[in-house]
Structure 1
Amino acid sequence: MSQRFAIYYAPAVTDLLWERAAVWLGRDPASGVSYDGAVAGMERTRLLNLTQSAGRYGFHATLKPPMALAPGQSEESLRAAMKEAAGELPTVPLGKLRIASLDGFLALMPEEANNAQLQDFAATVVELFDPFRAPLKPRDRAERAARGLTPRQEELLDAYGYPYVFDQFRFHMTLTDRLSAAEHDEVLQAAHTWFGPILNDPVTLDRLTLFHEKENKLPFDRIADFLLGG
């Protein structure tokens, strides 16, 4: 069985942001519940077609991207390491989130773009858990590189299995797949209608969240949370 694990930040399952995002994407990766019905005036089938990839991965911000486990590592050892690390890592204030267009898809991003504490935290997580990561298979590496990477991103891809870490990291919580110009304004308006009322309060990154892909191309499930600061 080919399985992968990812270390994300996701809001508490009782948080309105998590609940709204699950309804928007049509699936709650923690409970397994699926949602029907229109959202902010968008018919469900149309919205699902525009959020297929985002819905499969589940609502999150990537810290350590999906990885097969290295030989000798297991889900149990990963959980133990996450529990230990979370007890020592501090929470990170993110401030308010905003809906932004990022490389053609919509995402929630901090209003404050420069957050040194957040960048340091994300880099620490990448380093701490890299021993759990199996090396990229040549085919996977080629597929990633074919999407168009800078020399720096290729360097990071080879070193850490992912090109968007360290200085290339941008905190974001994906809401859609890549949109065409014709789709963008309609979906952006719906996103503002749906998420706008709950974006007035600042957010704190307060946990490491473990997601699990049982087999290639299956939806990711949210399987464990580890609160920061013990």
Structure 2
Amino acid sequence: MRYAIYFTPPADDPLTEAASRWLGYDAFEGAERPFPDTVGLPPGRMSTVTAAAARYGFHATLKAPFRLAENITPSALEAAFDVYCRNTATFNIPKIVLGQIGKFYALVPAENYDTLQAFAADVVEHFEPMRAPLLNDEIARRKPETLSEVQRENMMRWGYPYVFDEFRFHMTLTGPVAGTDASVVGGAVETYFAPFIDKPLAVTGLGLFVEESRGAPFTIRRWQPLTGGRN
């Protein structure tokens, strides 16, 4: 079993509902959703396009999937998660846009935002004592030979290559697409998510996700609002 700490809006947020339909999977319910019929791509094509992203649910990675350290129980992690959320304040990402991370389409900030970077770094550091060291097969799956020296160091120290200066907030919407297919899929993504693009994104809570067995869809074990700083 692995856990992850991801940002995702609350279950009833319009962006969550739209993204769950786009991905064909709702991590809050742990259930499939019907694909939207307004994007110009048939369900079979949508399934192929979104498969790599859908298993994780709609999210932005903060603390990447990890096994619990030997001295940590699931209830201890959940308690620590709840306390962290109570002590952490909400903030807004000023504007999100549609971007590409390699060959994947994702919602990303329009520009680098120091508050967001600091928040992501804090989550990584805060929960690090609860993470078990990576196993050899977990390291191999990251293909360390393709990573930069800094990314390899991050992976070995923090369990994930893309933390701190290497972190880039993104909410993945597709698997890899290339060539003429990329423009078709990109147009569909842009049209479907137009109501949310070029607008602020409120970071109001965190999700504690769980993968019950290797390769299983991630589900949200608990979602907590960020309430730090409230009177």
Report the TM range for the smaller structure's normalisation.
over 0.9
Structure 1: segments with no counterpart, 5+ residues: none
- What residue number does 1:185 align with? 183
Q: CA deviation at 1:181?
A: 1.6
Cα gap change, 1:146 to 1:156, in 2 (>3 Å): closer
- What residue number does 1:100 align with? 99
Q: Is the 8 A contact 1:97 1:108 kept in 2?
A: yes
- What residue number does 2:57 align with? 58
- What residue number does 2:71 align with? 72
Q: Give the whole-Å Cα distance in 2 for the aligned partners of 1:186 and 1:74.
A: 46
Q: Is the 8 A contact 1:16 1:198 kept in 2?
A: no
Q: Give the whole-Å Cα distance in 1 for the aligned partners of 2:153 and 2:34.
A: 43
Q: CA deviation at 1:92?
A: 2.4
- What residue number does 1:119 align with? 117
Q: Does residue 154 of structure 2 align to residue 156 of structure 1?
A: yes
Which residue type is aligned with residue 63 of structure 2?
Answer: K
Cα distance per residue 1:86-139 (max 9 Å; x no partner): 11112121022111111110000011x221111111111000001111110012
Q: Is the 8 A contact 2:8 2:207 kept in 1?
A: yes
Q: CA deviation at 1:39?
A: 4.5
Cα gap change, 1:229 to 1:158, in 2 (>3 Å): same
Q: CA deviation at 1:147?
A: 6.2
Cα gap change, 1:209 to 1:12, in 2 (>3 Å): same
SS at match of 1:99: strand
SS at match of 1:167: helix
- What residue number does 1:4 align with? 2
- What residue number does 1:26 align with? 24
SS at match of 1:209: strand
- What residue number does 1:209 align with? 207
Match of 2:169 among 158, 168, 171: 171
- What residue number does 1:15 align with? 13
Q: Give the whole-Å Cα distance in 1 for the aligned partners of 2:95 and 2:13.
A: 15
The ranges of structure 1 where at least 4 consecutive aligned residues each deviate by more than 6 angstroms after the TM superposition are none
Which residue type is aligned with residue 40 of structure 2?
Answer: G
Q: Give the whole-Å Cα distance in 1 for the aligned partners of 2:138 and 2:118.
A: 27
Cα distance per residue 1:130-182 (max 9 Å; x no partner): 11111100121122134610000001001011000000000000001111222
Q: Is the 8 A contact 1:28 1:34 kept in 2?
A: yes
Q: Give the whole-Å Cα distance in 2 for the aligned partners of 1:222 and 1:105.
A: 23
Cα distance per residue 1:68-91 (max 9 Å; x no partner): 111021221111101111111121
Q: Give the whole-Å Cα distance in 1 for the aligned partners of 2:213 and 2:201.
A: 32
Q: Give the whole-Å Cα distance in 2 for the aligned partners of 1:97 and 1:22.
A: 18
Percent same amino acid at aligned positions?
39
RMSD of aligned residue pairs (Cα, Å): 1.3
Q: Give the whole-Å Cα distance in 1 for the aligned partners of 2:165 and 2:38.
A: 36
Q: Give the whole-Å Cα distance in 1 for the aligned partners of 2:15 and 2:132.
A: 33
Q: Give the whole-Å Cα distance in 1 for the aligned partners of 2:15 and 2:145.
A: 31
- What residue number does 2:140 align with? 142
Q: Give the whole-Å Cα distance in 2 for the aligned partners of 1:100 and 1:217.
A: 26
Q: Is the 8 A contact 2:4 2:210 kept in 1?
A: yes
Aligned residues: 227
Q: Is the 8 A contact 2:97 2:198 kept in 1?
A: no
- What residue number does 1:228 align with? 226
